[in-house]
Structure 1
Amino acid sequence: MGEIRIGTCSWTDKALVASGWYPRGSRDAESRLRHYAARFPVAEVDSTYYGLPSIRNSRLWAERTPNGFRFDVKAFSLFTGHPTRPEALPADLRPAFPRGRAVADQGLLDEVWDRYSAALEPLRAAGRLGTLVFQFPARLVPGRPAEDFLRRCRARAAGWPMAVEFRHPGWWSGDRADATAALLTELDAAAVAVDMIQTLPASVPPVVRVTHPRFALVRLHGRSGAWGTGTKEERFRHEYTTEELAEWVPRVREMAERADEVHVLFNNCCGDAAVRAAQAMRHLLALS
């Protein structure tokens, strides 16, 4: 049985900080991370989707967490084909990415990757890196062009652990699921299982496939009906019930039978909903 780690997709979310979950006197960056890491063994870094990480932060994250703690780090938006503001790039690279450009050229992507990966190297060297999470937009539809794009992403990130989350439901629908799992196995990438509302056209089914022997990942986004239409807060506002969490207990255990390490991350980041759901899931899995 592989190790199961439960955590949340952010420990710095403003709503969490304002919720009172952090005790008085634990509101600075170091105290918050130490408080969080004393209660959960894994966290996701989402700031790296919006901008490049820094070597300094990687070192601080490693210093402020115990041995064995893991950070799953989101890939920068430019790598996954999401819209990216030039301001998100280092100043010296912005002229190479003018506003309005739909796709960055390979030279720019390679340079940005070099800086991104170099900034995360201290985290990897300290044994704190879980995986890089490549979350692809809904417009990445199944087909040969998308598969070629995925292969280029994997080639750029060669040697780094990689987990892939698709936002287009077609990747895991019907007969396509087997081909998707085979592709991720070929790419030496872990499939991300997703929990979300299942009544919308954009709903990704909760398919569980272990495509890497060392690692598997579940990301629970909540089950808000505002997905795809509401504000960010509305999309992720959801209080998981015990019954909803219990649906994932056999799935997570199945994943742990096939992977050395399974991470279960809650992304319903509204107030303290994610940390409470994570604590409840730990209890259901008899981890606490």
Structure 2
Amino acid sequence: MIKIGLTGWGDHPELYVSSAKERLQDYSAHFPIVELDSSFYAIPSKKNIEKWIKETPDNFQFVVKAYQEITGHQRGESQFSSKEEMFEVYRQSIAPLQENGKLSMVLVQFPPWFRCEKGNVEYILRVREELKDFEVAIEFRHQSWYSSPFKEGTINFLKSHHFHHTVCDEPQVGEGCVPLIPIATSEKVLVRLHGRNTYGWLNPGNNENWREVRYLYDYNKEELSAIQNVSEQLHKQAEDVVVLFNNNSGGHAAKNAKAFQQMLRIDFEGLAPKQLDLFEGGI
């Protein structure tokens, strides 16, 4: 099965027909899966997790981003007394999603400075142990993991420890980005589409608007066709392919995802009952 979704449900005004409090319900009328990205900045409370479970259809699923201290993005002091406590709090937070069949996977996205070296490989093994009861997808941002001396080892490492591989589409502008490697390492593979805004990737702006600049991109029909080919190739390797559009900042993600869905001739079942075809005609 190929599932299509977006990263986050709060930045797609063309999907909403209700109040701001009901954006997730509106979103789930269009797509069967979403990336929960707020979990990167703060571990979600049990109250919020339970709210999101209730607001979505029975078969709706979440790709939950790992908390920033897990991935090494954390700046400043930790709010936890130890790594063990931090992992335990994170596990408790996402457990209800798993118990209700709504956790597709945990996305562990390492930063651009996380190179392919022994200490980092050992840390990934610790993440595997700490999250042993969950499906985990690994996304690398430093291209050393896919350089000729390490690419085969990286893929075999992910396979042997049953990590889902994250296939990325992003600008190719140096070490802090990775090439598109259409390989699945398990029965499920994640595809994240970050856009191809080379200028924005190199010049992301200040801390306040960097996301608006970096992920400003509108995929054209030819580019979506190429992504379709990649997705179908991956589907021959893995039972489930999850495709997430992350080009949110200019309002293009939902439109691109809908056009992509039409190209694949996929009709999602079990969506919320507010389905409105606002995207007839594609791009």
Structure 2 length as normaliser, TM-score? 0.88
Q: Which one of the candidate residues 218, 226, 237 is aligned to 2:191?
A: 218
Check whether the contact 1:21–1:272 (CA below 8 A) recurs between aligned residues: no
Check whether the contact 2:142–2:175 (CA below 8 A) recurs between aligned residues: no
Give 3-state SS (helix, strand or coil) of 1:208's partner. Answer: coil
Check whether the contact 1:58–1:123 (CA below 8 A) recurs between aligned residues: yes
Q: Which one of the candidate residues 234, 237, 241 is aligned to 1:262?
A: 241
Q: Distance in 2 between matches of 1:158 and 1:241?
A: 39
Change (3 A) 1:265 1:145: same
Change (3 A) 1:228 1:133: farther
Q: Deviations over 1:55-88 (max 9, x none)?
A: 11111111111121110000001011112444x7
Q: Residue 114 of structure 2 aligns to which amino acid in structure 1?
A: L
Q: Residue 217 of structure 2 aligns to which amino acid in structure 1?
A: H
Unaligned residue ranges in structure 1 (runs of 5+): 97-107
Q: Give the ranges of 4+ consecutive aligned residues of structure 1 lying more than 4 Å apart after TM superposition.
A: none
Change (3 A) 1:85 1:285: farther
Q: Which one of the candidate residues 37, 59, 63 is aligned to 1:72?
A: 63
- 1:111 matches 2:111: no
Change (3 A) 1:55 1:199: same
Check whether the contact 1:131–1:161 (CA below 8 A) recurs between aligned residues: yes
Question: Alpha-carbon deviation of 1:128?
Answer: 0.5
Q: Which one of the candidate residues 242, 246, 251 is aligned to 2:221?
A: 242
- 1:148 matches 2:122: yes
Partner of 2:19: 27
Q: Residue 224 of structure 1 aligns to which amino acid in structure 2?
A: N
Question: Equivalences for 1:267-282 in 2 at 5 Å?
Answer: 267-282=246-261
Q: Residue 259 of structure 1 aligns to which amino acid in structure 2?
A: A
Give the aligned length.
261
Q: Which one of the candidate residues 101, 111, 124 is aligned to 1:137?
A: 111
Give 3-state SS (helix, strand or coil) of 1:178's partner. Answer: helix
Partner of 1:166: 140
Change (3 A) 1:228 1:164: farther
- 1:177 matches 2:151: yes
Aligned-residue CA RMSD in angstroms?
Answer: 1.6
Check whether the contact 2:217–2:250 (CA below 8 A) recurs between aligned residues: no
Q: Structure 1 stretch 68-77 or stretch 145-154: which is displaced more?
A: 145-154
Give 3-state SS (helix, strand or coil) of 1:38's partner. Answer: coil
Partner of 1:227: 201
Q: Residue 277 of structure 1 aligns to which amino acid in structure 2?
A: N
